[in-house]
Chain A
Amino acid sequence: MYTKRLTPWFYLIPALAILGFFLVYPSFHTLYLSFFGKRSHTFVGAGNYIYVFTNRVMLTAFRNNVLWVAVFTTVTVFLGLILAVLFDRVKYEVIVKSIIFMPMAISFVSASVIWKFVYAFKPGGTPQIGILNALLDTFHLPPVAWLIEKPWINNFCLVAVGVWVWTGFCMVVLSASYKSIPKQFLEAARIDGAGEWGVFWKVILPLLMPTVIVLATTMVVFVLKIFDIVYVMTNGNFGTEVIANRMYKEMFLFRNFGRSSAIAVVLLLLVLPVMLLNLRRFRREERR
């Protein structure tokens, strides 16, 4: 009888031990460290948090994270949706979907190098080797230092790299949901005289809304922690800093564990609403 009661725990203990050691315990410890100083010796109260919310570079990081969340999420989800609907209408769907999806296999580091080369800049008068500036050159426009021109051009250029990698993911998910819509719905709307845009906004979008919301939440949670692209392409210079890169710098460059922990806690607070939402949904399903 006792062994029967214990059986589940034999299966669970390895997982629980690792989760406890690598996620649960450190999270609480980080929370604790966030109230202490640089070397975790002196209690500083809310000092680190005051720094996080008042420091000039941190404020830039917050602004950029807002930009990332807004632009990255909107573009990946919407472009993904439009591509899913467009591709569904052609015979070579499989090939074009694979091409848009392909960057998902490429690391952010490699994607950053790939795009850094696209954005490559040389002073006017010399032959441009980056394709964007070469394009400007053919229209006799002066070259642009894409990754330096702040505050908007360089930040949008970084976001574009993320969009390039993740749009395929959104497209694949939305394409599956789109294909599950009974085609009669769309036909009925067309017979009633709706144009293709009308069908898209009034029929397709509302039917896919649940998937769009789940997907958008996933993108927000993911992109709040954006790090690699910024680290490789600009390392947060020229006004492109983001929260996660700042956390890394505080930890390794300045060796300030208090501030670094406080930044991590802020990241956690930002995803907390999503966590609570997921838990509530789980409770609801469990009761059924």
Chain B
Amino acid sequence: MTEKMSRSLSRGLLHTVIIFITLLWLIPTIGVLVTSFRPAQDVANSGWWTVFESIFSSVRLTLRNYEVVLSRLGIGRAFLNSFLITLPATLIPLGIALFAAYALAWMRFFARTFVFMIIIALLVVPLQMTFIPILQIFNKSSLAGTFPGIWLAHSGYGLPLAIYMLYNFISGLPKELFDSAAIDGAPPFYIFLYIVLPLSVPIIASLTIFQFLWVWNDLLVALIYLGGTPDVAPITVQISSLVGSYGQDWELLTAAVFISIVPSLAVFFGLQRYFVRGILAGSIKE
């Protein structure tokens, strides 16, 4: 066998392996997408892939499943709740973290190292350590089962990583900028507003996506602080309860799942560049 032949053979093998793995990754999601458009009777009696076998004869597709989950199974309400929970729970911690990260990065003060060490330590504290005491306080102050309660909780849980990542970025800005602004007599707040904020836009974008996806996809925090009340339940909680009550109605479950992943996929594919940059900033420190 010539070298050229063996090389093109191994190229062929490479492409085959890559395409095989990629398909493996895609197939489960395609199955869900297809199933969500099939009538209940077909879903229960034949695999979703049979749609492709009979593509030229009679494929029966329907939007009814979406209609049912949106109106009758509370997914419409839950979808709205998810937005009402996610938007403030993304923006509040980000704003608070920006102030803190700026102070930690460019101000020298007593106990600075100590404050920073607490934040580093809190990065890995399991949320489980906080549920019981906070829920008890929430119950007494009637914050349990309300949006403000979960906004605050998510703010607390998102802060350590947000401060840490913002600190890494803001402390890396060129020192001369801060020095010359200080010489010009700019007060700290002006420096924050007109230098730090505009320059931090890329990392702010990354963090917004992080926190958005984290809150949008969260199940546990919502279960703890919102309970199962359908009025306030986000889509993750609603789907997990549908799994209990409609476990075999795949056409409904798949439609609900597809509705829940549309916003996160949109954010993800629209802003993937920022997302990747954020991951790299957070995980590998250069």
Contacts and interface: CB of A to CB of B under 8 A. Distances in A.
A61 interface: no
A146 B97 CA distance: 44
Task: Specify which of B17, B104, B216, B276 lies most central, judged by the most chain A CB atoms within 10 Å of its CB.
Answer: B276
A129 B46 CA distance: 6
B14 A21 contact: no
Given A23-B129, A109-B217, A231-B240, 5 more contacts: A114-B32, A176-B276, A218-B283, A244-B126, A248-B220
A119 to B, nearest CB: 10
Contacts of B279: 169, 172-173
26 contacts: A12-B103, A14-B96, A18-B96, A23-B130, A86-B17, A99-B26, A102-B25, A105-B267, A109-B239, A109-B240, A110-B261, A127-B45, A127-B47, A129-B46, A134-B47, A164-B28, A176-B280, A214-B284, A232-B219, A244-B128, A244-B220, A264-B128, A264-B132, A268-B125, A271-B125, A278-B120
A117 B107 contact: no
The 8 tightest CB contacts between A and B, nearest first, are A22-B156, A107-B217, A105-B268, A15-B100, A11-B103, A26-B130, A26-B133, A264-B128
B124 A278 contact: yes
B168 to A, nearest CB: 11
Q: Is the interface of A mostly helix, strand, loop or mixed?
A: helix
A244 B220 CA distance: 10
Given A14-B100, A19-B118, A110 B152 contact: no
Contact of B156 (A18, A172, A177, A264): A18
Interface in B222-264: 223-224, 236, 239-240, 243, 250, 253-254, 256-257, 260-261, 264
B160 interface: yes
Contacts of B267: 105
A247 interface: yes
Given A113-B32, A131-B27, A176-B284, A15 B126 contact: no
Contact of B120 (A16, A90, A127, A279): A279
B63 interface: no
A74 interface: no
A61 B239 CA distance: 25
Interface string B106-125: 01010011011111111111
A15 B163 contact: yes
Given A12-B100, A86-B18, A98-B269, A232 B243 contact: yes
Interface in A12-57: 12, 14-16, 18-19, 21-27, 29-31, 33
A22 B152 contact: yes
Contacts of A275: 120-121, 123-125
Most buried by A among B48, B117, B128, B159: B128
A67 B104 CA distance: 40
A142 to B, nearest CB: 17
Interface residues of B, number: 93
A260 interface: yes
Contact of B126 (A24, A112, A164, A264): A264
A211 B286 CA distance: 11
Given A18-B155, A21-B156, A113 B46 contact: no
B189 to A, nearest CB: 9
Given A29-B133, A90-B14, A271 B124 contact: yes
